[in-house]
Chains A and B, each alone.
Chain A
């Protein structure tokens, strides 16, 4: 499956690739990365037919993770991708907004990769 990681921190790519090295090597998960909301949207436009799970940070310059979520949930109906929001601010407001906008899950930084792996596996 295809997982799109969205974060303005570019080192997230290296981190994810290493954290999920086994899953990547075994071709269980395919990772793509976007470093802003805008970039994520353009990636989704180009790879419309791929089944995608989106892991997105909320706090990003430019388009925020929540805006991205709103766009995805409003415009990409078939099939609606699974969107998991990750934020450093594990506050109720962010959580509520994310859920209202249709987020499938909500994770708090620092990311517990074991938990994330479990969630990804169940989603798959």
Chain B
């Protein structure tokens, strides 16, 4: 049952089974509001718990099941019931208490949660769902408190949520809350199933009034607590009211005296000792230093209180090791084991029956084992750095040696490649030498043919002539002998003999040419043999001349020879030296032909008579073969390169570039030297110098 007076002093009474009554104390008459199923505007139910006047327009009635609202102007009720399929309907079950917050919104405490009524939409917003909320209370400063079986909650406007609230001296909180009301001294009074608790919302200190204060538990008519206009608080029980006058509740504010009393390490009590853990009695000790092996310890403490009649409660916490406080009620020792090395503070609180509290702290340092000390870490760091450095060095060396090996392999491969290339080059060179030889032979073929044809012609002609002469001689023989005839006969015979000599001469000449050609085309035997340098020079001069003529009909040149007949025979590899001479002469002819454009002769323009000179000379120790031409000379920038293999000034395909290089090698092999003298626009001469012995 709940009774609430209105503005006019009339009383609204919510009855447990008889509906809502409105009582006028002056006329002493009741007005009854009962449920009438035929009238939708009648009160929604008759089993009621609480009544609450929101304002002059609305009055709310909380029922055993559901909620109903009276429009005080029309006298009509609107009933709110839980609907299974509508999440914005009021939560199911009993409604215990209603209040408005500082913004005027209606809050409804129900058995299955706290509801906020949205007046605009007529919908309910759910808080603390599933909690059995029996009390909702707005304190003088506007704070909204909710008391539930599960604890005390304070509305946090910033998050829009209810936060669990625990007084400082009751870290485990207040449970089984039945009712919350406020007094005029910033206290809220909380009725629980077995105590009345006064909570100072400023100090956050709670004072519990229970059996020792004459509070008999489990006998509440818990819906009927209220603050009277003179400041007294009435708490309803089954056998009457507890009346509390908060202004008369004088607290014992002298806190207990708290001290540490004993320390046990590994269950062994430690006594003060000059060199021990304790140098003074523990109650005078501010700091205890333990080794990492002494991290299982128990510290006892004790509080003495002369004023309070209630029991002393203890709380402790090892700060930096744990967050929560241990609520140990009347026990007074704190045990820890396995605490890692570190710096901690043991905080102990003692609270007497009056709620006065004292706190004492002790610093407990657990030193790390040597392998966890700073210098150990320094050593680790150094070792780590050394290891890292070692690995780096090793890696570096490994990579270096690997790279070295690779580059060695590469070099080796390159060397092999070079060797291979060198071998190939050698083979190519040999091939080139051979083809150079063949090329020069090819050049000579026409010349050689001509050279052979001339002597052959003579052989043929002279033998034919001889036949004629012999015929003539025969006819002379048949004539009568006379002196004239004798003279003719003698002349004929002389001619025949001369012709035979010519035949023989030209036959030998052809033979020599063929031999020379064979000699030239054959691979060099490398055998030195006595060679007539003059005839060798002459032979190749003619060969070169005719070879060029065969190729170019317009070619012509004057050849001047000056042979030193005292040279005689010199030991040389004749085909090699012959090749050098041939090469030099061919070059000379090529050079003089350069400044003699084709057709120049035909036009009668001859600037200078193109001439090649072959000169042989003998001195004391050596002989010289000089091949000179009056061609354009060799430019300076070319002069350095002429002996280099493959260097040629001839148009592509016409010279191998090996001639002078080979010539140089041949002369070197003979122990001689090949020199060149040139004057641009004037002449070039190559001088072969060969030792006599």
Contacts and interface: CB of A to CB of B under 8 A. Distances in A.
B506 A59 contact: no
Interface stretch (A7-15, A26-34, A42-50): A7-15
Contact of B460 (A9, A18, A110): A110
Contacts of B549: 59
A19 B465 contact: yes
Contacts of B461: 15, 19, 110-111, 113
Nearest to A18: B465
B450 A67 contact: no
Interface string B548-559: 011001001111
B558 A62 contact: yes
B427 to A, nearest CB: 39
A2 to B, nearest CB: 22
A12 B151 CA distance: 152
Contacts of A74: 604
Contacts of A59: 450, 546, 549
B499 interface: yes
Nearest to A61: B559
A14 B559 contact: no
B502 A11 contact: yes
Given A11-B506, A59-B546, A18 B558 contact: no
A63 B556 contact: yes
Contact of A109 (B446, B453, B546, B553): B453
B553 A94 contact: yes
Nearest to B451: A88
A42 to B, nearest CB: 15
Interface string B651-662: 000000000000
B502 A89 contact: no
Contacts of A62: 556-559
Contact of A89 (B450, B456, B469, B557): B450
B4 to A, nearest CB: 148
B12 interface: no
A95 B458 CA distance: 23
A18 B559 contact: no
B540 interface: no
Interface string B197-222: 00000000000000000000000000
Interface in A82-124: 88-89, 93-94, 97, 109-111, 113
Given A18-B495, A93-B553, A11 B450 contact: no
A64 B556 contact: yes
A72 to B, nearest CB: 13
A82 to B, nearest CB: 21
A89 B446 CA distance: 9
A14 B465 CA distance: 10
A106 to B, nearest CB: 14
Nearest to A15: B461
Contact of B457 (A18, A66, A109): A109
A61 B557 contact: yes
Nearest to B559: A61
Nearest to A64: B556
B594 to A, nearest CB: 19
Contacts of A113: 461, 464
Residue from A11, A66, A70 whose CB has the most chain B CB atoms within 10 Å: A11
B458 A15 contact: yes
B450 A88 contact: yes
Interface string B438-455: 000000001000100110
Interface in A52-79: 59, 61-64, 66-67, 70, 74
Interface in B480-520: 495, 498-499, 502, 505-506
Contacts of B546: 59
B545 interface: yes
Contacts of B558: 61-62
A37 B456 CA distance: 23
Contacts of B458: 9, 11, 15
B607 interface: no
Nearest to B602: A70
B545 A88 contact: no
Contacts of A94: 553
B468 to A, nearest CB: 8
A13 to B, nearest CB: 11
Contacts of A111: 457, 461
B124 interface: no
A75 to B, nearest CB: 10
A19 B502 CA distance: 14
Contact of B553 (A14, A88, A97): A97
24 contacts: A9-B454, A11-B458, A11-B502, A14-B499, A15-B458, A18-B465, A18-B468, A18-B495, A18-B499, A19-B465, A59-B450, A59-B549, A61-B557, A61-B558, A61-B559, A62-B556, A63-B556, A67-B601, A70-B601, A88-B450, A88-B454, A109-B454, A110-B460, A111-B457
Interface of B: 446, 450, 453-454, 456-458, 460-462, 464-465, 468-469, 495, 498-499, 502, 505-506, 545-546, 549-550, 553, 556-559, 601-602, 604
Closest 10 CB pairs of A and B: A110-B457, A18-B465, A62-B558, A64-B556, A61-B559, A15-B461, A88-B450, A88-B453, A11-B458, A93-B553
Given A11-B506, A70-B602, 16 more contacts: A9-B458, A14-B502, A18-B469, A18-B495, A19-B461, A59-B546, A62-B558, A63-B556, A74-B604, A88-B450, A89-B550, A89-B553, A93-B553, A109-B454, A109-B457, A111-B457
